[in-house]
Structure formats: structure tokens, C-alpha cells
Amino acid sequence: MSQHTEKLHVEPGQYVLLLVAFAVTVPGLYFGIAHQHVAPVTGAIMFGVAVFGAAFILSWAAEAAQMDMSESLAVAILALIAVLPEYAVDFVFTWNSAHDPEQAHYAIANMTGANRLLVGLGWPAVLFVFVLARKRKELLLDKSQQVEIFYLAMATLYSFTIPLKGSLNLIDTVILVTLFVMYTRRAAQMETVEPEFVGPVKILANMTTGMRRFMTVSFFVYSGAVIFFVAEPFAESLVESGEILGINKFLLVQWLAPIASEAPEFIIAITWAMRGAGRAAIKALISSKVNQWTLLIGTIPLVYAISGGAIKPFVLDDLQQHELLLTAAQSIFAVAVLVNLKLNKLDGLLLVVLFGAQLIFEQIRLEVAAVYVVLAVVFHIAHRKDLLPAAVMGLGLKRKS
């Protein structure tokens, strides 16, 4: 456990920023809990601002938490809370799909869209913001991040079986949730190192140990509550705004709603990258990807079974199988890119170009998936010396000297 003894200098503006972050969440939280109707555009702005404020509160809590736990665990908690909107939206579609089969399309579309956005847009955004802010050629990851990379690899390898068998069932739930538990347990074992405090988090750092822990937990709980209650109306407001403009509903569910639900992670990651904390920023997005690719997809058949009142598989049609296959292919390429603990401009360019290609030209989904897999093989061969160290770190094993 890290011991902080020096009092940090806190500017008056940092107290103001803290108060503003809480204040802007209040209207969205109130209307989210009250379920009062709001005009689509007004709702998109109000709920979006609330998500923005909650993201900052959540990031400060995660930084303060690193005084009492490992960065990996603090970021894992942050990622889990930040992705609550995605869980909320996807669980609604999954629950409804037990009674309305059309909703099943939206559940898979929302989940796969969110996953591909994280990797295809989020990772390159963090990289390019970081290299521009710090004038670097690449983003170097810490050795501890092999934990996230290893469990992302395990979840991805298993995910290829889902489109091949054409369904999600409770066996998938057990395996994927177990992977998530193993990842969280390993993250908790990592070393605790006090971070470099910037902004309002200094206010928490200056508190006594007991008060700091209480306030840190309170920040986590409050930001989580805001994100949870605001997520659905925020997504609905964006979808309704899109429908007014005549945009296809499937595309809205797959891309616009995930943009809304992934907003907390994106805001936190970009903010950290602008500050030069690129390693922490990419760690947060990788952790979000891990928990979505394990806990979120793993709980879909469980929610479906509870809603339908029977143990039965969540059957996938051809389109859903293709969506999952493409997402798994992108994920295995993402692992290949990161396994050497470096993310350079070429990596970022490949991620964003391939993402853009499948987004603009939907008819070439399977071709793009094939490109992802071929590139993954090439990158894994090039980085083959890094595969074993990632597995050793992920499992917490000791290498023989």
C-alpha cells in the first residue's frame, strides 16, 4: 500500500472544477431517475453533459484509489463502472429479445458495435492524442499491462467458437465470467504505486486515510449511479434524434448508441492522454474491452434465460454470426498489435483504416475479418518472443532464471 505524507498544493480553481463536475450531473441524474420525457435534442445535451461530468469524477476516484490498491485493479473498477451504460442498454435489448425476436439483432449489434468502437476508434484516438501532446513516435506500455493483454487474448480465442456454433448458452456464461473473475483477481495482485496527482484528485490525496477512502468509494458510487441512470435516456435521446433525421435504426443501435454508452471511457482516456498519461489511458480502454468481451457477452445468455423463464440458447442468425466473427477477428489483431507492449503510428493507422472500411462498406465484413486474421498471424510471428512473457504475467507465474 502506498503511503502519501506530503500535503499537495491545491489551486482554488480545482475546488471549482470539482463542484462543477458534480453540478452538471444533477439535472441528468434527476430526469434519469424520474423517467420524465425530454425532447430528443435537449435530452442528448443534458444527459451527455451528465455523462461527461461523471466521467471526470470517476477518473479522479480511480487515481485516488491507486493509493490503496494496484493501478490495474483501480483501472479495472473504473472500466467496469464506465461501461455500465453499455451493460444497461444491451441488457434491455437482451431482456426484450426473449419476447420479441427482433430485439436480439439489436442486442448483438449494440455489443459488437461497442467492442469495435473501443479498438478501432478509441485506441487510435488515445495514441494520436498522446503522440501529439508529448511529441513521441509511439506509446510504450508497462509490463503490468500484459495482464490485460493476456486475458483479452484468452477471451478472444474462446469468442471464435461462438459464431461457429451459432449460439450463446450458459456454458459460455460460465467460461467467460470465470475469465473475468480470474482477470480481476490477477489485477488485484499487482503492485500498488502512488500515481502523479493532477487536478482535483489532489483534494482527495490530502485527506486522512479513512476520509480519503470513504470519499473515493463515494465518488465511485455516485459516478456509477449517474452513468447507470443516465445511460438509457442518453442512448434513447440520440437514437430518437437520429430517427428524426431518417437514419436506419439498426445502424443507430450499432453505432450511435454505443458512442453514447462508451462516452465515459473515451472521455477519461482522451483526458489522460492529453495529460501525457498515455499508458494509463490505453490501460483503461483495454480493461473496458476485456470486461465487455468476458462479462458482458457472457451474461447475455443468462439475462435471456431469466427473461424467457427457461434455459435455452440465444440463437444467432447469419448476420449476428458475421458480426461476432468480425469483432473477434479485430480483437485477435488488437492483441497481436499490443503484445510487444508498443503502439505506434502504423498500428493506429491500421486499426482506424480497417475499422473505417467495415463501417463504410458493410458488404465487405467477412473480407475485413480475413484481413484482420492474416495481419494478426503476421504480427504474432513478428512478436513471438513476447507471447510467453504475457502468459506468465497474466497467470502470475514465476519465470525460471
Summarised one tens digit per residue, pLDDT across range 261-308 is 777 788 878 888 988 888 888 988 998 899 889 999 999 999 999 998
Question: Of 9, 401, 372, nearest to 199 (Cα)?
Answer: 9
Q: Say whether pTM exceeds 0.85.
A: no
pLDDT bin (cut points 50, 70, 90) of residue 196 is low
Most confident of 82-96, 178-192, 327-341: 327-341
The helix (run of H) or strand (run of E) holding residue 47 is: helix 40-65
Residue 104 to residue 114: CA distance in whole angstroms: 16
Of the listed ranges 111-120, 223-232, 285-294, 347-356, the least confidently predicted one is 223-232
Most confident of 16-25, 72-81, 104-113, 231-240: 16-25
Residue 4 scores a pLDDT above 70: no
- Give the residue carrying C-alpha cell 439498426: 250
Alpha-carbon Rg for the chain, nearest whole angstrom, is 21
Residue 150 to residue 145: CA distance in whole angstroms: 9
Of the listed ranges 83-97, 349-363, 378-392, the least confidently predicted one is 83-97
Higher pLDDT, 38 or 192: 38
- Measuring CA to CA, how many Å separate 380 from each of 1, 62, 329? 36, 32, 13
Are 327 and 88 in contact by the 8 Å Cβ rule? The answer is no
Residue 75 to residue 287: CA distance in whole angstroms: 7
Residue 400 scores a pLDDT above 60: no
Residue 110 scores a pLDDT above 90: no
Helices (H), ranges, 245-344? 249-251, 257-261, 263-274, 278-291, 297-308, 318-338
Name 170's Cβ contacts closer than 8 Å, sequence gap at least 6: 301, 302, 305, 311
What is the average pLDDT value for the chain, to the nearest integer? 86
Instruction: Please give the CATH number for the structural domain made up of 12-395.
Output: 1.20.1420.30
Burial class (CB in 10 A: 0-12, 13-18, 19+), 310: exposed
Residue 18 to residue 56: CA distance in whole angstroms: 9
Residue 399 scores a pLDDT above 50: yes
Residue 13 scores a pLDDT above 60: yes
Most confident of 207-211, 320-324, 358-362: 320-324
Are 94 and 107 in contact by the 8 Å Cβ rule? The answer is yes
Are 361 and 111 in contact by the 8 Å Cβ rule? The answer is no
3-class secondary-structure state, position 69: coil
Residue 256 scores a pLDDT above 90: no
- The fraction of the chain above a pLDDT of 90, given in percent, is 42
Residue 11 to residue 216: CA distance in whole angstroms: 20
- Counted residue by residue, the chain has a size of 401
- Give the residue carrying C-alpha cell 489485477: 187
